[in-house]
Every structure is written in C-alpha cells, then in structure tokens.
Amino acid sequence: MTHGNTDSGREKTGAGPVVLQVLPALETGGVERGTVDIAEGLMAAGWGSLVASSGGRMTRKLDRVFATHVTLPLDTKNPLRLALNARRLARLVKARNVSLIHARSRAPAWSALWAAQATGVPLVTTFHGTYTHGPLALKIPYNRVMTQGARVIAISRFIAEHISQHYQTPAERIRVIPRGIDIERFSPEAVSHARIAQLATQWRLPDDAPVVLMPGRLTRWKGQGLLVEAMARLNRPGVRCLIVGADQGRTAYREALEALVSRLGLEAQVHIVDHCDDMPAAYRVASVVVSSSLEPEAFGRVPAEAQAMGRVVLAPRHGAAPEIVEDGATGWLFEPGNPDSLADRLALALDLDEAGYEAMAWRGMMQTRRVFSRDGMIGRTLAVYREVLDDGPPPEETLWRNTTG
C-alpha cells in the first residue's frame, strides 16, 4: 500500500538519484519531522524521494511535497519480521531504482542494512540519540546498526562523541548535522501581535508580568519539577511561569507536579497548560525560555526554536545544550538537576535591562539562523548523499574530528 505520489519509476521525481528514507512510523516527533524536511529538499533539488514506514498522520505532509510514501510494517522488532522487511525493502530498491538508503531508527535500520547488502546500494544512518542502553553489553550490539552506514550522521557533537566513545566508529565516517529549525515559521517577524495577545488572554497573563516558559511533553526527565523548585527559590511573586505540554496519558506525573506547585505555595505563579498549537507565539509571550532536562539531550529543539524567536534561553550544562546556548552570550547554562543554579540564572535573565536583553537575544537569533536552520540541515544532508554516491571529498562544515584522543 502506498501514499503520496505513487507513480512508479522517476516519472515525477526528476532525473537525480532516488533516496529511500526508512523509519518505523510517521506520526509525530523530531525524527519524523526531519524525514519530511529531507523528502521536501530532495524533491526541490530534482532528486527522487521515497519514504518507507508503517504510516501515520505525517504522510499527508509527504503528499504536499509530492514525495512517495510506501507503507511497510517497519514498526516491528521481531527478528523474523525484520528479515521479511529486508526482502521487501530490497524489492523496493530494485523496483524504484533507489540509489541510496537512509535509515533513521534501529529496528528498521537492520532491515535497511540487509537490503543494502543484498542490492549493493549504499546505506547512510542518522544517530538521533544515545538510545536506552539498559545493560550496556546487551544493548550495544543492537544499537550498533546505527553506525553501519557508509556515513553516520550525528545530530550534535555530543552524539558524535558518544558514537566514537561507545562504538569506536571512525571519525572519518561521522558527519555532524544538527536538526533544522524552520526559520520562516520561527521568526519574530512572522508572529502578529494579535496571535501573541490571543495566547496571553487565553493563559490569563497580567499585562506587564515577566513570563518564564518551559515547553515540552510532561515527563519526569524533562525536568518540569526542577523548574518549579527553582521558581520557589527565585521568590519573585510577580513572575509568571508557564509549563506548556500535554501529559500524553501521564496523569500521575501531572498530578504530582500540581501537588508540588501547591506544596510550595506557587499556585498564583506557576501554571501547567496543555499542548499549544502556536509555539512561535508562545515563545514571543515569554521573557525567558527554559529547558531543564535531567538527562542529556541529543539536540534540544526548544533552545534552538526559542533563540530563533529572539528569546533568552536557559539550559542545562550537558548534552547538546552547550552547542546551542552560548553561556553568557545568547543565554545561560546551569548545573543539571540543581534548582539553586537554575534560580540564579533565572535572576540574571530577568534582571537584564532592555539593551542587554536585546543584544543577547539578537546574538542567539543570528547564531540559530546561521547554524540550525532547516535549509542548512537539508543542504548538508544532500551534500553527504553526494559524497557517498560520488565518493568525493567530505563537506567541510559537516566534518567531525575526534579531539578527545
């Protein structure tokens, strides 16, 4: 079963090479968003674009860019089904004259690897996270498939170092390409005052109150509780704090957060609101945006989006956050899991005068546009595809050199 442009061959995909991206499903998330972005970039460049997954709501986005979706049961970890999926992918590679396979998740990457070996087509992988190791000795062999590409794309230098350390992947095969932010959507100029006012009214924000915003799904490791504790230590009753994100069925965690807010006497200041459909406007409502993940993040879309929107950002000093937030220049880094450190940085950000705030926000916005744009991510990824297909020199800006010894 197929969705999108289902014509066979290259009739509507231009004369360029055909790239097949493989992932479990296309429901929602950063991996899925990046897949659609690359599919659109391929089509715009005159290449052929195929995406294989078990389907989902984001297949409609492929329809809009005239990319082809092929529905296969790739959301399985069953070894027998992985082998069957490998045969299905091999048939697809031959039928659609695929030039390169790009695997974006571990289970389908095994099928993609076997299909690539069977057809002689090169494989590229993207390492999107550190992955759950569990017992390290058991998990690393399963995870290792993500290092088997002719090139391994790491979404941050933090992930590149992780790959090198845990999987001994040669640095010359690793390419660092951060996730891309849609700069046209996440731009202050793109958000009207009416959209900002609508959200401020919906969230019942006082006109002149400083607002601390933390977006992200409600899950313990994202560190919403840490921010609540920091707000208590900050002890500024006039500051409002918005924790924005759906609990996705984690009602017990939401209730625990609400209980913490109540126990600390912050009911008038800290509000937990559901998912927001207009995040660009939400960032503009805020004075300061916080990412307080307790575990290191592989990239961290929130700091990059917030900086693109001209907002000062606070983030923990681990994972990829220091690659996005330049401490003291575009925002501040705090000690992970430390509410006192976070409260101290909140005070610094809230005490900025107008000129200091604007200068810091401008630096963050310019850096994000230069390093983390969606168009830049697409261009760097296509450059890696060309490198693999042409066996040419690597694009300098994607190189990662292991300096850790």
What tens digit of pLDDT does each residue of 57-91 get? 999 999 999 999 999 999 999 999 999 999 999 99
Domains (range + CATH), the chain = 2-180+374-398 (3.40.50.2000), 188-371 (3.40.50.2000)
pLDDT-derived band of residue 247, with 50, 70 and 90 as boundaries? confident
pLDDT at 275: 82
Q: Is the pLDDT of residue 10 over 70?
A: no
Mean pLDDT of 342-353: 97
Mean pLDDT of 344-348: 98
**292-311: per-residue pLDDT in tens?**
999 999 998 999 999 999 99
pLDDT at 8: 38
Mean pLDDT of 330-352: 98
Residue 386 corresponds to which tokens in the numbers above?
Answer: 């060309």
Between these two residues, 403 and 262, which has the higher pLDDT value?
262
Q: Is the pLDDT of residue 14 over 80?
A: no
pLDDT at 168: 92
pLDDT-derived band of residue 405, with 50, 70 and 90 as boundaries? very low
Q: Are 89 and 110 in contact (CB under 8 A)?
A: no
pLDDT at 399: 55
pLDDT at 138: 63
Quote the mean pLDDT of the chain.
91
Q: Is the pLDDT of residue 145 over 70?
A: yes
Mean pLDDT of 6-13: 41
pLDDT at 248: 77
**150-174: per-residue pLDDT in tens?**
999 999 999 999 999 989 999 999 9
Q: Is the pLDDT of residue 283 over 80?
A: yes
pLDDT at 250: 78
Q: Is the pLDDT of residue 3 over 50?
A: no
pLDDT-derived band of residue 257, with 50, 70 and 90 as boundaries? very high
pLDDT at 318: 96
pLDDT at 135: 59
pLDDT-derived band of residue 401, with 50, 70 and 90 as boundaries? low
Q: Is the pLDDT of residue 333 over 80?
A: yes
User: Which of 249-253, 262-266, 311-315, 350-354 shows the lowest mean pLDDT across its residues?
Assistant: 249-253
Q: Is the pLDDT of residue 245 over 50?
A: yes
Q: What percent of the chain has pLDDT over 70?
A: 91
pLDDT-derived band of residue 191, with 50, 70 and 90 as boundaries? very high
Q: Is the pLDDT of residue 400 over 70?
A: no
pLDDT at 404: 39
Q: Is the pLDDT of residue 133 over 60?
A: no
pLDDT-derived band of residue 18, with 50, 70 and 90 as boundaries? very high
